[in-house]
Structure 1
Amino acid sequence: MPITPDQQAEIDTLRAQPQPTLRATAPGMEAHLYNAYDVLDHGFIRVIDYMGDDAAICQAARVSYGRGTKSVQNDEGLIRYLMRHWHSTPFEMCEIKLHVKLPVFVARQWIRHRTANVNEYSARYSILDREFYIPAPEHLAAQSVINNQGRGEALSGDEAARVLAYLKDDAARCYDHYAEMISDEGQQGLARELARMNLPANIYTQWYWKVDLHNLFHFLRLRADSHAQYEIRVYAEEICKVVADWVPAAYGAFEDYRMGGATLSGKAIDCVKRMLKGEEVTQETSGMSKGEWREFMGVIG
């Protein structure tokens, strides 16, 4: 169960007590506040707080130009211009604070994005719940033969059953030993900060994660990509849904220029120009390595 009864009661209480405010609000985000959205088997994300909206991005951008510029260019057009030309500072005027419940191994990958404020559940002071991420059979895959950090075909039959049994048995055994070590019934009991070292990386942790929109877009560009690891990608995809309702113009520009766009090198642009003139360009005449050429051909089809 991703949300405990106590957490759900807290959510219900918070949503039942709306507060008047003079600050700008985003109707789309207001609908998401405090609601928890399930991810994986025991995880979730929920919005705790936010600041700013599409208008805040434009307000920050226009401070350099003075009054009167809004009539020249509408907000959506300005936001697309900022995104297109990598003017990132105005996007930093928006912030979001999320409560996330996620497996430890996903958290360790997530925390590599060092541009957020994080406060994680402490296993030094509290006892972790007996909840582990166990992949669905379709997400048990062999090592990719072409990508050292990717997956290949899904395991099947006896192999899949054997792996699932290992994951479940090992997680249960480690937690049993953890609980026994910290128990003070008839023994001193090992300190929690030491006992936690025996817990598996698929146990769930929780944190508050606060980040500005510019750095959030960077996180989503990498983690919502189809090549990202499934277990972190599903969190990023759920966050994308929230951001699309929060700052629809900014998210639309992000989706177009970052998620759906491509960056071409100087050599690649030169090749495109030569092709448009009718010249036949090959990898050997392009000046690119085989890897660069393969990626270039993937972009232009």
Structure 2
Amino acid sequence: MGLSPEQLAEISELRSQAQSTLRATAPGMEAHLYKPYQVLDHGFVRVVDYMGDDAAICQAARVSYGRGTKSVQNDDGLIRYLMRHWHSTPFEMCEVKLHVKLPVFVARQWIRHRTANVNEYSARYSILDREFYIPAPEHVAAQSEVNNQGRGSALEGEEAARVLELLKSDSTRAYDHYEEMISSDGQQGLARELARMNLPANIYTQWYWKVDLHNLFHFLRLRADAHAQYEIRVYAEEICKIVADWVPFAYGAFEEYRLGAETLSASALDCVRRMLKGEEVTKETSGMSAREWRELEAVLKG
């Protein structure tokens, strides 16, 4: 795993220190605190800090209508109600700070979620490590013929080997030149902020990423989806495991109403209602485009 000896020592020290606190803690999250979980070949994700739990979500929700209603609905039921009816503010009462090591091209996808606080490793001040993401052979795939932003079937044999060799050799050559440019051995050496431009997008970077639970769920709904790019999906799946232990009621509601659910347009819902009444609805009578009809069919077939 891509952790330096200094980082490992820091983690060991932090986990050896028991802290007394009056604030609410989540036993499931305490078990994850500081531990790194490997993702891809050199990446990881680990929890640095967190705030809140399932009870904090309910506390925030109940302040809107008074404590006297608490006996009407238990915490699990209340959280499911909030998730089902898109009441997002109570989920913002929980936050988590993650330390993530990831390839730069994955980071560029990840940063599109602009509702978080991010502090990234600076290649202006520090020298990046010689670590590159090289996909496993089963993840070296051709361009999809039906999805312009996705991959199709895996490359095989000599073609797969050729692509992997190009990725490895290009990464190595670019880093060799990076080291040559910044070297001060017999020369002034190029500034690090300029030399970094020559590095490939599969080199690893690191950042601290702090986000509230509502926006984290939005990230996970998109990035843990089966259609998300594999290299970011595996990070989202690892985070899902952590969140499930941190806020089990909230994560259960998220799985039920977001991650495992589908959203139907007004036209699609009208088609379903007509079908339930016994009408035979076709693409021609649906009032939807061919692509919308295919998507509805895929939802109904499961």
Structure 1 and Structure 2 fold alike (TM over 0.5): yes
CA distance in 2, matches of 1:273, 1:168: 54
After superposition, residues 59-98 of structure 1 pair within 5 angstroms as 59-98=59-98
Partner of 2:296: 296
CA distance in 2, matches of 1:276, 1:188: 76
| 2:107 corresponds to 1:107 | yes
Q: Deviations over 1:117-144 (max 9, x none)?
A: 0000000000000000000000000000
CA distance in 2, matches of 1:290, 1:173: 47
Aligned residue pairs: how many?
301
| 2:175 corresponds to 1:159 | no
| 2:186 corresponds to 1:186 | yes
Partner of 1:220: 220
Partner secondary structure for residue 126 of structure 1: coil
CA distance in 2, matches of 1:194, 1:123: 9
CA distance in 2, matches of 1:252, 1:284: 39
CA distance in 1, matches of 2:265, 2:295: 11
Q: Deviations over 1:61-101 (max 9, x none)?
A: 00111121110010000000000000000000000000000
Q: Deviations over 1:212-251 (max 9, x none)?
A: 0000000000000000000000000000000000000000
Partner of 2:169: 169
Moved over 2 A (4+): none
Q: Report deviation, 1:271.
A: 1.3
Q: Deviations over 1:144-170 (max 9, x none)?
A: 000000001101111011111100000
Instruction: Give the residue type in structure 1 aligned to 2:57.
Output: I
| 2:251 corresponds to 1:251 | yes
Partner secondary structure for residue 207 of structure 2: strand
Partner secondary structure for residue 189 of structure 1: coil
After superposition, residues 1-301 of structure 1 pair within 5 angstroms as 1-301=1-301
TM-score with structure 1 setting the length: 0.99
TM-score with structure 2 setting the length: 0.99
Partner secondary structure for residue 19 of structure 1: coil
Identity %: 83
**Could you list the runs of 5+ residues in structure 2 that have no partner in the other structure?**
none
Q: Report deviation, 1:270.
A: 1.4
Partner secondary structure for residue 68 of structure 1: helix
Instruction: Give the residue type in structure 2 aligned to 1:12.
Output: S
Q: Deviations over 1:14-36 (max 9, x none)?
A: 00001100000000000000000
Partner secondary structure for residue 205 of structure 1: strand
CA distance in 2, matches of 1:176, 1:192: 14
